[in-house]
């Protein structure tokens, strides 16, 4: 793509270029920030020209924000919190040195749900953009829009608790920004982990951010476990989430490389979406059924699936729970209520409705006579899918069934900007996936998918609502797929590397949590590096063990097709075994 910018001399040429460039078309804000701050004047003129000549449908889609935003980038500091700001070299340096959390924030327009704020100061609203998505306005108010509620005008705002710097959003009523920022700043200097534990952090956060009291107090992430976690040997839930995000990242990197070396046949990374996994998994109960797509291994990890088990599956060895039948990353575990992945997209969505219907009947004690379900045992089903799968027939059927039949469940859309190579603008014309919720008559909320606290709070709230109302909730988490679609894909052929780099540097969920922890003195560069090192070693060890094991026995080839083997399968099995024996074929 960059090559296209360079060739643009006349405005006519620029228009053509812009129309054919996914980067600019989808993400003018990124282009605008680069143009004003750090890039060549040639590129800048191309970008500017592009905004005046945006296709009509995009201008409408963005509700005029594109032009407004170009204006706002010219406003002197303090700047609006957005990726645009972070594009500055100075701030990047600041990040490298360790974020101090003292960025001045224009807080006059944080609450998007407030109509007055929306109307009066829309040009000052904070937005975020993950390059693959449009500019999303941000709200700090956790509000699930229920059927019958007023639907947000324009683009649905995304709920966010923590910004890119790992600082909680301040309240909009507090005009003195210095207090919180300085407290955070001080805390990083003065407070050390030895001095307070997770519950105390919870109290501190509640004190600092009273407008998040509910979210903080009810957050399982900020609540210590009653027992030590077997993998971390500590009760600190938040640090476990941090460690598991790193573990998942390390596992991805190593197994991805293993595929490149020809040691496994296939792999799919989760880079950039770790906050969705750990954030939502920690907000669910173990009895909740998870119907995942294929990029949700973190949920299994949170529930206790070990690195060895992941590796067993990827190496298709005899300990693989799936008996080596499926391609790598098609994990599943009944004991952990995680349905085995199937490759066809969207098929899990309607199935989740069926499971949720079962839970609804159980709650009504219809299918469990003599035993009224305990409130704490009540289960929901949660189904994950991407922005591409939301175009399938099953998504439509599933949403319509769930809303009509009133099943307690969560539809969780990971909008990461791409379906393999197809950008979201080629996928749908409306405002993402969330705007469909009111149409189906279901509740919905959009959330910043790289903010682990926001994802957690949204899922916890959605779960509560689903059970209370016995109905579905649609969550759209805005994120960015940093890696390739799979090992069979090369994303550099359809998206600019700088787009990816921006997402990796600016909005990476692990970095963001890392910055948060650093502010409170729980992590520093050394500690993070130590965690990374430990996890890397653990993954390597698990991989070596898994790789050395044997393949599953041939007997498993014919089992589980039917509950009991019918005669024709018995016969085919015998024939195969005879053949293997006759020609001494190892098996």
Partner 1 sequence: MSMAMRSTTSSRAVQPLLRRGRRRLQHHQQYHANNNVIHPSSNVAVRAFLTASASASAITTATGRRCSYYNNSYCRSIRGNGNNNLAIVGVGVNVNTVKTNASSALRFYSATAALDQQQQQQQQQYYDDDDYDYNDTSNSYSNSNDEATAITATNAAAQEEPNYSSLGSSSKLNLFTAINSAMRTAMQTDPTAIVFGEDVAFGGVFRCSQNLREEFGEERVFNTPLSENGIAGMAIGYASAGGTAVAEIQFADYIFPAFDQIVNEMAKFRYRYNAVSEWQSMELRRSYIACSLWCGESINEDIIIAFISCTLLLTSCVLERSMQVGHGALYHSQSPEAYLAHTPGIVVVMPRGPRCAKGLLLSSIRSKDPVVFLEPKILYRTAVEDVPDADYEIPLGKAEIIRPGSDVTIVGWGAQLRTLQVACELAAKDGISCELIDLRTILPWDIECIARSVKKTGKLVVSHEAPITCGFGAEIVATIQEECFFHLEAPIQRVCGYDTPFGLVFEKHYLPDEKKNLDAIRKVMEYSR
Site residues (CB under 8 A) for partner 1, limited to 178-237: 220, 225-227, 229-230, 237
Q: Is 384 one of the binding residues for partner 1 (CB under 8 A)?
A: no
Distance CA 385, CA 399 (A): 12
Distance CA 173, CA 111 (A): 10
User: Which range touches partner 1 (CB under 8 A), out of 58-66, 82-90, 191-199, 568-576?
Assistant: 568-576
Q: Is 92 one of the binding residues for partner 1 (CB under 8 A)?
A: no
Q: Is 560 one of the binding residues for partner 1 (CB under 8 A)?
A: yes
User: Which range touches partner 1 (CB under 8 A), out of 91-99, 146-154, 398-406, 449-457?
Assistant: 398-406
Q: Is 568 one of the binding residues for partner 1 (CB under 8 A)?
A: yes
Q: Is 381 one of the binding residues for partner 1 (CB under 8 A)?
A: yes
Distance CA 44, CA 280 (A): 40
H-type alpha helices, 38-88: 41-52, 56-61, 65-74, 83-86
Angle of helix 452-469 relative to helix 509-519, nearest 10 degrees, comes to 100
Which of 583, 556, 21, 542 lies closest to 248, judged by CA?
542
Q: Which element (helix H / strand E) includes 504?
A: helix 497-506
| Chain position carrying tokens 């998504």 | 395
Q: Where are the beta strands (DSSP E) in 479-541?
A: none
Q: What is the size of the binding site for partner 1 (CB under 8 A)?
A: 86
Within residues 321-350, the interface with partner 1 by CB under 8 A covers 321-323, 325-326, 330, 332-337, 339-340, 342, 344, 347, 349-350
Distance CA 296, CA 474 (A): 17
Q: Is 69 one of the binding residues for partner 1 (CB under 8 A)?
A: no
Q: Is 586 one of the binding residues for partner 1 (CB under 8 A)?
A: no
Distance CA 569, CA 575 (A): 10
Q: Is 391 one of the binding residues for partner 1 (CB under 8 A)?
A: no
| CB-nearer residue toward partner 1: 525 or 555 | 555
Contact yes or no for 533/539 (Cβ under 8 A): no
Distance CA 336, CA 533 (A): 28
| CB-nearer residue toward partner 1: 131 or 410 | 410
Least distance (Å) from partner 1 to the CB of residue 438? 17
| CB-nearer residue toward partner 1: 337 or 487 | 337
User: Which range touches partner 1 (CB under 8 A), out of 148-156, 157-165, 368-376, 538-546?
Assistant: 368-376
Q: Is 577 one of the binding residues for partner 1 (CB under 8 A)?
A: yes
| CB-nearer residue toward partner 1: 332 or 509 | 332
Among 366, 429, 530, 585, binds partner 1 (CB under 8 A): 366
Q: Is 174 one of the binding residues for partner 1 (CB under 8 A)?
A: no
Q: Is 351 one of the binding residues for partner 1 (CB under 8 A)?
A: yes
Among 5, 130, 168, 289, binds partner 1 (CB under 8 A): 289
The 502-541 site mask, x for binding partner 1 (CB under 8 A), equals ----------------------------------------
Within residues 258-287, the interface with partner 1 by CB under 8 A covers 282, 284-287
DSSP 7-44: T--SHHHHHHHHHH-HHHHH-HHHHHHHHHHTS-HHHH
Least distance (Å) from partner 1 to the CB of residue 325? 6
Least distance (Å) from partner 1 to the CB of residue 268? 17
Distance CA 506, CA 440 (A): 35
| CB-nearer residue toward partner 1: 262 or 567 | 567
Contact yes or no for 201/520 (Cβ under 8 A): yes
Question: What's the token pair of residue 156?
Answer: 């649905």
User: C-alpha distances in angstroms, 46 versus 35, 40, 42, 132, 135?
Assistant: 9, 10, 6, 20, 20
Angle of helix 525-548 relative to helix 237-260, nearest 10 degrees, comes to 50
Least distance (Å) from partner 1 to the CB of residue 393? 6
């Amino acid at each position: 793509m960059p090559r296209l910018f360079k060739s643009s001399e006349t405005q006519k040429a620029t228009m053509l270029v812009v129309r054919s460039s996914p980067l600019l078309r989808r993400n003018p804000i990124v282009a605008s920030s680069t143009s004003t701050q750090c890039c060549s004047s040639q590129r800048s003129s191309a970008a500017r020209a592009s905004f005046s000549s945006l296709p009509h449908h995009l201008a409408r889609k963005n509700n005029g924000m594109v032009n407004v935003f170009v204006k706002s980038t010219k406003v002197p500091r303090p700047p609006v919190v957005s990726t645009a700001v972070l594009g500055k070299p100075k701030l990047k340096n600041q990040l490298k040195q360790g974020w101090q959390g003292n960025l001045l924030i224009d807080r006059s327009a944080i609450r998007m749900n407030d109509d007055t704020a929306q109307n009066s100061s829309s040009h000052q609203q904070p937005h975020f953009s993950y390059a693959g998505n449009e500019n999303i306005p941000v709200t700090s108010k956790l509000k699930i829009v229920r059927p019958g509620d007023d639907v947000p005008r324009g683009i649905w705002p995304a709920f966010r608790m923590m910004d890119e710097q790992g600082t909680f959003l301040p309240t909009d009523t507090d005009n003195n920004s210095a207090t919180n920022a300085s407290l955070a700043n001080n805390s990083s200097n003065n407070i050390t982990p030895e001095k307070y534990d997770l519950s105390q952090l919870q109290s501190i956060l509640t004190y600092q951010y009273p407008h998040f009291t509910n979210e903080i107090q009810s957050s399982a992430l900020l609540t210590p476990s009653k027992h030590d976690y077997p993998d971390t040997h500590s009760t600190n839930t938040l640090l476990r989430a941090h460690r598991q995000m790193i573990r998942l990242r390390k596992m991805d990197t190593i197994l991805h490389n293993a595929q490149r070396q020809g040691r496994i046949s296939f792999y799919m990374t989760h880079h950039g979406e770790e906050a969705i996994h750990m954030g939502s998994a920690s907000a669910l109960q173990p009895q909740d059924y998870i119907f995942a797509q294929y990029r949700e291994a973190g949920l299994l990890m949170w529930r206790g699936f070990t690195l060895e088990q992941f590796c067993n599956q990827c190496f298709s060895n005899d300990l693989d729970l799936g008996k080596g039948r499926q391609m790598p990353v098609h994990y599943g575990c009944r004991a952990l209520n995680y349905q085995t992945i199937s490759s066809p997209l969207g098929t899990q969505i309607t199935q989740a409705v069926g499971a949720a219907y079962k839970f609804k009947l159980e709650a009504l004690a219809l299918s469990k006579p003599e035993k009224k379900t305990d409130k704490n045992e009540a289960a929901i089903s949660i189904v994950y899918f991407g922005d591409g799968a939301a175009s399938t027939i099953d998504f439509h059927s599933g949403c319509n069934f769930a809303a009509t039949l009133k099943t307690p469940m969560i539809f969780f859309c990971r909008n990461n900007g791409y379906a393999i190579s197809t950008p979201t603008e080629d996928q749908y014309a409306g405002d993402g996936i969330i705007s469909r919720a009111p149409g189906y008559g279901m509740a919905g909320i959009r959330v910043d998918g790289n903010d682990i606290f926001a994802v957690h709070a949204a899922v916890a709230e959605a779960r509560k609502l689903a059970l209370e109302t016995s109905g579905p909730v649609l969550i759209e988490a805005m994120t960015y797929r940093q890696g390739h679609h799979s090992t069979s894909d090369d994303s550099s052929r359809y998206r600019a590397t700088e787009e990816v780099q921006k997402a990796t540097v600016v909005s990476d969920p692990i970095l963001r949590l890392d910055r948060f922890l650093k502010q409170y003195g729980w992590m520093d560069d050394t500690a993070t590096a130590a965690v990374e090192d430990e996890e890397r070693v653990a993954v390597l060890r698990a991989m070596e063990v898994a790789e050395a094991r044997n393949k599953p026995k041939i007997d498993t080839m014919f089992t589980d097709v039917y509950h009991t083997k019918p005669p024709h399968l018995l016969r085919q099995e015998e024939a195969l075994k005879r053949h293997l024996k006759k020609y001494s074929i190892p098996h």
